[in-house]
Amino acid sequence: MRIIAIANQKGGVGKTTTAVTLAHAFALGGYRTLLVDLDPQGNAATMLGMDVQPMLYNLLVLKHTPGQCIQPTGRPNLDILAGDKSTSEAKEAISGKFRRETILADRLRPVYNQYDYVFLDCAPSLDILNVNAMTAANSVIIPVSVEFMSLVGLRGYIDTLAEITQHEYQIHVSAVLPTFMENVTTEAKTTMSQLQEKFGNLLAQPIRRDQRLKEAPAEGKTIFEYDPRSRGALDYTALYKQLTGGTSYGAQSS
Ligand SMILES: Nc1ncnc2c1ncn2[C@@H]1O[C@H](COP(=O)(O)OP(=O)(O)O)[C@@H](O)[C@H]1O
Ligand SMILES: [Mg+2]
């Protein structure tokens, strides 16, 4: 069983899109998959056309069992632990707790054997819930929007993730994922070559900017349901194949 956190301290870089889309790709591939929403915005459920629910709060604070909190999404192999604004209260509530940085992992452990993959959709911050995500996860994917400012603070953020986890936990950055890629702009090309220089083999093939990826959530559909032939569907399928060992990493420089 693998637990993959999707994280970046910046918002709007495609974290939730990546978490939801990858989770569905793995589910479609036959893997039993759980998507966990750690962002008080509750976007993960919304993107799947579901209601936001205080399930993370119920699990972490009210100590409901994982079985009471995890819901089917109506898609084969794909379950969700939804969140909503009460996730913020959960954050406050666990802040003072003993071994507060492993509460998520401790609470979810009983259901780990029911899943092949767990995806953690993180909020754009480095708060206690994201520390929990880092201690629970085996690996982290960092979506980075291909724009000039997006590299600012990125190295510091990755170093901080490493510090959080260096002693006790076994997390590693498994991919830096360029998102909102535009093949034609100079800005994108410059940023891609900087990413290539900084991250080398960790750099995954980019996810192109695709209006279809933006439209799909409004219909409560994943891109595979909304437009399986779109660029977004193709790019996320390629990422899925990379992660399952289908192809090796290495972004094209063009
Ligand atoms: N590759 C893409 N092309 C076009 N729009 C995208 C793409 N990825 C995400 N979006 C849209 O951009 C917005 C922010 O994406 P989201 O995944 O919510 O980012 P985050 O979770 O990092 O805040 C959403 O409206 C989403 O539909
Ligand atoms: Mg998000």
Order of all β-strands in the sheet with 2-6 = 71-75, 78-81, 33-37, 117-121, 2-6, 139-145, 172-179
CA of 215 relative to ligand 1 center, distance in Å: 10
Predicted local distance difference test score (pLDDT) of residue 252 = 38
* Contact 122 CB / ligand 1 (< 6 Å): no
User: Is the minimum distance from the CB of 210 to ligand 1 under 6 angstroms?
Assistant: yes
For residues 85 and 43, the answer to whether their CB atoms sit within 8 Å is no
Residue nearest atom 18 in ligand 1 by C-alpha distance? 16
Beta-carbon contacts of 87 under 8 Å, excluding residues fewer than 6 positions away, are 37, 38, 39, 40, 42, 54, 56, 57, 123, 129
Q: Which ligand is nearest to the CA of 44?
A: 2
Whether the CB of 86 sits within 6 Å of ligand 1: no
Q: Which of 47-61, 103-117, 136-150, 217-231 has the lowest mean pLDDT?
A: 136-150
Judged against a pLDDT cut of 50, whether residue 33 lies above it is answered with: yes
Q: Measured between alpha carbons, how far is 177 from 123 in angstroms, rounded to an integer?
A: 17
Answer whether 29's CB lies under 8 Å from 78's CB. Answer: no
Instruction: Write down the pLDDT at residue 178.
Output: 96
Range 141-165 average pLDDT: 87
Helix ranges (H only) for the chain are 15-28, 43-47, 55-60, 66-69, 86-95, 103-108, 128-136, 154-165, 186-199, 211-215, 223-226, 231-243
Average pLDDT over residues 144-166: 85
| pLDDT at residue 162 in the model | 80
Q: In this structure, which ligand is nearest to the CA of 13?
A: 1
- Please tell me if the CB atom of residue 218 comes closer than 6 angstroms to any atom of ligand 1: no
Q: Which residue has the higher pLDDT, 169 or 29?
A: 29
Q: Provide mean pLDDT across the span 157-181.
A: 81
Lowest mean pLDDT among 14-18, 35-39, 143-147, 244-248: 244-248
In the reported structure, the alpha carbon of residue 1 is separated from the centroid of ligand 1 by a whole-number distance in angstroms of: 27
- What per-residue confidence (pLDDT) applies to 160? 85
Nearest CA to ligand 1 atom 5: 214
Q: What is the DSSP string of 149-160?
A: GGGTTHHHHHHH
230 lines ligand 1 (CB under 6 A): no
- Over range 35-44, report the average pLDDT: 97
CA distances from 239 to 19, 153, 243 (A): 12, 25, 6
pTM surpassing 0.85?
yes
Using a 6 Å cutoff on CB, does residue 180 contact ligand 1?
yes
Strand partners, 125: none
CB environment 215-237: b (16+ within 10 A), e (fewer): ebbeeebbbbbbbeebbbbebbb
Classify residue 181 by its DSSP letter. B
Q: Exposed e or buried b for every residue in 59-72, given b needs 16+ CB within 10 A?
A: bbbeeeebeebbbe
Choice between 240 and 163, residue whose per-residue pLDDT is larger: 240
Which among 9, 121, 185, 214 is the best mutation to test ligand 1's pocket, defined by most ligand atoms within 8 Å of the CB? 214
Ligand 1 atom closest to the Cα of residue 179 is 1
The residue among 114, 104, 98, 6 whose CA lies nearest residue 55 is 104
Q: What is the 176 CA–ligand 1 centroid distance (Å)?
A: 16
pLDDT digits (tens, 9 = 90+) for 110-137: 999 999 999 999 999 989 999 999 999 9
Ligand 1 atom nearest to CA at 212: 4
- Assign residue 176 a region: left if phi > 0, alpha if psi is -120 to 50, beta otherwise? beta
CA distance 77 to 95: 33
Among the bound ligands, the one closest to the CA of 208: 1
Domains of the chain as residue ranges with CATH: 2-243 (3.40.50.300)
Q: Is the CB of 10 under 6 A from ligand 1?
A: no
